[in-house]
Chain A
């Protein structure tokens, strides 16, 4: 299939554009998403250029995260398809009630009378903007039945997952990593739709399995390339969505490699790596030749200072060390 090279940001914008054209029920709502003359086009410029084309289908709101999310819910219940942008994932804390108590539960509570087809786009991850603008919280949302959680690591996945998320009848928390916005990758021409709950083998290998999503998957692929030169074949599984989680693909890899490292940028304690590692242990303990290694952020905060931030957030060195630890296990 023919492809084009796009950045993660361009791929996301293209997904929004295509869905706005395809379905007139789709609209975008958020703070400073307006992209007309002099407008921001989103804090990370994802919606830049869309205002000229789609006008009032981009709604700039006051600063009010709860009501961006709650109004999206109400509009979705009445037949529209809102795509909300929350400027930083950290700010989702302001709207947790809307997500956890309303968006997640409406289909269930009403016995299926109403559903909430909405997407919440949330830029996340450390980029030197300090402790309240840098976090990744996948496990918060994995913990809530009724919410899907997507976290693409490549431009192609960003486009395909966002388009699928917009068409899905359920609320989807769509995490975008800030360090990926300028990363380029090949994106197939034509319609790109990636099912929620289908992992991707980002890099095939037979010696060690690494499970990582988002920016950590991007780093893990780089580490795997480096280790391949040292004759260690690392298989990187990018789940792409944390809910639903494609355990089948993860377990198939583990049964092949017998050694696993699980990586996430969230705080390691009670983070997504705990859930994934425990699920692997429950399902195929007898295949494991080494204790599962877990990589995550240390129990502190993501400081403004880059050295301090890098000390807390996992990087390539920590991922490589974890792979080495399981690979070298006697």
Chain B
């Protein structure tokens, strides 16, 4: 199904907000507020917003370390997400998780699997639960091109197709696993080419075209709900930044980066919406201002949140037993 006009503008807003969120998180990292690093999906907003907007609120999301924008679309509060990224007590996981392990149960965000490839079995199990519970919900799991070479990919693709589980596999193919280009690690040109080995539909979409991603994800969700099982959607996109905030971004040519910057998903979508008469200069400014204020508030909330007490790390190692 194609997005209606209101949804199109909403997706544009979410892409802008997501971009500003990540730019701010990057600043906080450079200011030394983030222990370790974060993995930014700047340039991949269309993939994340398009796929997540195809979900119903009760559907489950399995994000990755690079899908902060998807987390926000699913409903995460930017302030609490920012607080988690900088390891504060008010973060979603109390500062235990950071960006690479973030989860938000209230919005049915099952959390990042920090081990690349662990997403496949866990997401399969979440989909198995939906099928067994006859919940009418699906699971959408993101993974990167790099993850698709793990052995777990094979196990989970096979099982999810064999059992016709309600899951949409979305490969956020940004062409690089850390500093290594996909064609140096994969015997096939496209991740979606592998779908046929699992009797599963695989499709390649322009990951910088939010409407194309939305339509593909919508169709895959419908298919999953109808009991036909999983779909593998490969979104071809590009990260403007390096792998993480530690990354000096030296393994890609400036030409290549520039070519992709010209296909910035937000600029592309803005042009489409202006052409459709859905965006005006005024509205673009207002959306940017609104997003800026929201991100200022998120940052203020995060940096004002206290550090967790070090000894709190001893809590929640085991869940209290319900056994009487």
Contact = CB atoms under 8 A, between A and B. Distances in A.
* Interface residue tally on B, bucketed by range: 35 or more
A161 to B, nearest CB: 11
23 contacts: A66-B152, A70-B118, A70-B120, A74-B128, A74-B129, A75-B125, A78-B125, A78-B130, A97-B118, A98-B121, A101-B118, A106-B111, A107-B317, A107-B319, A108-B96, A108-B316, A110-B93, A110-B96, A111-B316, A113-B93, A113-B106, A113-B111, A196-B323
B152 A70 contact: yes
A98 B132 CA distance: 22
Contacts, number: 150
Contacts of B96: 108-111
A62 B125 contact: no
Given A76-B125, A79-B129, A98-B118, A109 B93 contact: yes
Interface in A249-274: none
Given A70-B124, A114-B110, A169-B319, A109 B155 contact: no
Nearest to A70: B121
Contacts of B155: 62, 64, 66-67
A62 B103 CA distance: 29
Contacts of A112: 316, 319
Interface string B237-280: 00000000000000000000000000000000000000000000
Contacts of B111: 106, 109-110, 113-114
Interface string B115-146: 10010111111111110110000000000000
B113 interface: yes
B27 to A, nearest CB: 25
Contacts of A77: 110, 122, 125-126, 129
Interface string B80-124: 000000000000111011000101111000110111001011111
Interface in A97-127: 97-98, 101-102, 106-115, 117
A80 B128 CA distance: 10
B158 interface: yes
A146 interface: yes
Interface string A120-148: 00000000000000000000000001101
Interface in B157-176: 158-159, 162
Contacts of B152: 66-67, 70
Interface string B302-324: 00000000000000111111110
Nearest to B128: A75
B151 interface: yes
* Interface residue tally on A, bucketed by range: 35 or more
Contact of A167 (B104, B120, B323): B323
B156 interface: yes
A321 B129 CA distance: 52
Given A66-B155, A102-B115, A113-B105, 14 more contacts: A64-B155, A70-B152, A71-B125, A71-B156, A73-B121, A73-B125, A77-B125, A77-B126, A102-B122, A110-B92, A112-B316, A114-B111, A167-B323, A169-B321
B182 interface: no
Contacts of A196: 321, 323
B322 A71 contact: no
Contacts of A62: 155, 158-159, 162
B107 to A, nearest CB: 11
B37 to A, nearest CB: 18
Given A113-B104, A168-B323, A196-B321, A67 B124 contact: yes
A307 to B, nearest CB: 37
Interface in A53-79: 61-62, 64, 66-67, 69-79
B105 to A, nearest CB: 4
A281 interface: no
A101 B320 CA distance: 20
Nearest to B321: A168
A67 B120 contact: yes
A330 to B, nearest CB: 44
B218 interface: no
A146 B318 contact: yes
B60 A78 contact: yes
A247 interface: no
Contacts of B125: 70-78, 82
Contacts of A74: 110, 121-129
A230 to B, nearest CB: 41
A39 interface: no
A168 B324 CA distance: 10
A117 B128 CA distance: 15
B319 A71 contact: no
A61 B158 CA distance: 11
B159 A61 contact: yes
A67 B121 contact: yes
A67 B126 contact: no
Nearest to A110: B103
Contacts of A195: 323
A170 B123 CA distance: 19
A193 interface: yes
Contact of A80 (B132, B316, B323): B132
Contacts of B92: 110-111, 113
Contacts of A181: none
A54 to B, nearest CB: 13
B318 A164 contact: no
Contacts of B104: 113
A70 B122 contact: yes
A27 interface: yes
Interface string A189-203: 000010110000000
A113 B319 contact: no
Interface string A80-99: 10100000000000000110
B121 A110 contact: no
Contacts of B126: 74-75, 77-78
Q: Which of B104, B111, B130, B158 has the most CB of A within 10 A?
A: B111
